[in-house]
Structure 1
Amino acid sequence: MQKEKSSEWPLIDAFGICRQTILPLYRRPTFDSALVTQLLFGECYQTIAMTSDQQWFKILHEDTGNQGWITTQSLKEIPKNDYYKFLNNDFQVVTSPIAAIEYLGSNLYLLPGSRLHFSDLELFNWQDHLGFTGSIRSHSVKAKREELIDIALKYVNSPYQAGGRSIFGLDEHQAFELIFNIAGYSWKSGKIPGGKIDPELVLPGDLFIFRELEKKQVKYALYLGAEEVFWMDNRIKVSDLSEWEAFLRNSKDKLIELETRSIIS
């Protein structure tokens, strides 16, 4: 049934998968709307609504909890059973800055975080079978601290882009969620995993989280060791911890909070 006073029609039991390099999700069903997020190749979603003219579909990316609108042309439907199989089974995650796969007769370029739904238990060499070039890791294996940092450093110099989830443009919050997800750790939007630790016990791979409580803004920094941090300042950068602290001191918010958090188990 159509929602009252709305051109949005709800849908149930409809599912899809991203089959392009980057799939933009918009806040409203129009191209001049704000970018909410981006899906990467192989990421699955639920289709939860459509416009009355069936030109736009509203989707939910269950892994992050983000919702947004995509065009009919971008919609790639899959059966319900495949959707839950892809979500619950192991898969390979692209880790190289640029990878490629033969898809529909041509090369499709893949970015870090893209998913290939094959496990390490497959009986054939799927990389040769699919014509894949690049580096991948098994999502079911949680990365150690050194590997997590290696994943993060591939994004150095990526510019800021609201809603971005690629090396060509990153949303600060979604960047850290994506990096930890590539490393095998689930991080849904707004729900930081792990637990608080004493700042004196911080190790490479742990997070510094700075909150401006009045503005309701959050800044992240990944501790790299040797007093260096990985953070966003119009672009992803690596700097001395003192530079990040100096940046934070410019905050005009009277209510602030600094937390140190460990996600790596």
Structure 2
Amino acid sequence: MQKEKSSEWPLIDAFGICRQTILPLYRRPTFDSAMVTQLLFGECYQTVAMTSDQQWFKVFHEDTGLQGWITTHTLKEIHAEDYAKYLNTDFQVVTSPIAAIEYLGTNLYLLPGSRLHFSDLELFNWQDHIGFTGAVRSHAIKADRSQLIDVALKFVNAPYQAGGRSIFGLDERQGFELIYTIAGYSWRSGRVPGRKIDPELVMPGDLFIFRELEKKQMKYALYLGAEEVFWMDNRIKVSDLSEWEASMRKSKDKQVELETRSIVN
């Protein structure tokens, strides 16, 4: 049944998977709407509604907790059993800046965070069977501090883009969530993982969070060691910690809070 006074038709028990390099999700079912987020190859979603003309579908991305609209031409349906399997079993995460896979008879380029649903326990060499080139890591194995930093540095110079989740455009919050997710840590819908620590105990791989309480905004900096941090300043950059702190002091918000979190075990 159509929602009252709405052009959305609700759907249940419908699932899909991203089968292109980047799949944008829009705030409204129109191309001139703002982009909410992007899905990467191999990420799964649940369809929750469609327009009355069936040209747009609203989808929910469980990993980020975000939802938005995609066109019917980009919808790739999968069975509920496959959706549950892909979310709850190990998979390979692309870590190289650009990888490639043979898909539908041609090369499809993949970006960091893309997913290949093969486990390290497979009885065959899946890379040879699917024609994959690039670097991956098992999502089930959490990265150590050095490995996490290696993942992050792949995104240096990525420009800011609202809703972006790629090296070609990165939303600050979603970008940091993506980096930790690639490294095997769950960071869903703004719920920062790990535990608070004293700033004096910070180690490489730990996270500085600057909260502007009135604006309800957060700024992040990944500590790299040797007083250097990885952060967003219109683009992802590496600089001295003092430069990031000076930038945060320019905030006009009267209520601010600085938190340091240890995420890597």
TM-score, normalised to structure 1, is 1.00
- Structure 1 position 181 matched with structure 2 position 181: yes
Aligned pairs for 1:89-108 within 5 A: 89-108=89-108
Aligned to 1:198: 198
Unmatched segments (≥5 aa) in structure 2: none
Question: For 1:197-250, what per-residue CA distance to the aligned partner results, in whole angstroms no more than 9, with x for missing partners?
Answer: 000100000000000111111100000000000000000000000000110111
Aligned to 2:249: 249
Aligned to 1:231: 231
Aligned to 2:138: 138
For these two proteins, the number of residue pairs brought into alignment is 265
CA distance in 2, matches of 1:245, 1:53: 51
Aligned to 1:155: 155
Aligned to 2:9: 9
Unmatched segments (≥5 aa) in structure 1: none
Aligned to 1:51: 51
Offset at 1:189? Answer: 1.5
Offset at 1:2? Answer: 0.5
Aligned to 2:221: 221
CA distance in 1, matches of 2:44, 2:149: 26
CA distance in 1, matches of 2:189, 2:102: 32
- Please list every run of at least 4 consecutive aligned residues from structure 1 whose deviation after the TM superposition is greater than 4 angstroms: none
AA in 1 matched with 2:156: V
RMSD: 0.4
TM-score, normalised to structure 2, is 1.00
Offset at 1:62? Answer: 0.5
AA in 2 matched with 1:178: L
Question: For 1:78-112, what per-residue CA distance to the aligned partner results, in whole angstroms no more than 9, with x for missing partners?
Answer: 00000000000000000000000000000000000
SS at match of 1:176: helix
State the percentage of identical aligned residues. 84
CA distance in 1, matches of 2:174, 2:190: 10
Offset at 1:76? Answer: 0.1
Aligned to 2:210: 210
Question: For 1:33-68, what per-residue CA distance to the aligned partner results, in whole angstroms no more than 9, with x for missing partners?
Answer: 000000000000000000000000000000110100
SS at match of 1:10: strand
CA distance in 2, matches of 1:87, 1:189: 16
CA distance in 2, matches of 1:126, 1:118: 7
Offset at 1:116? Answer: 0.2
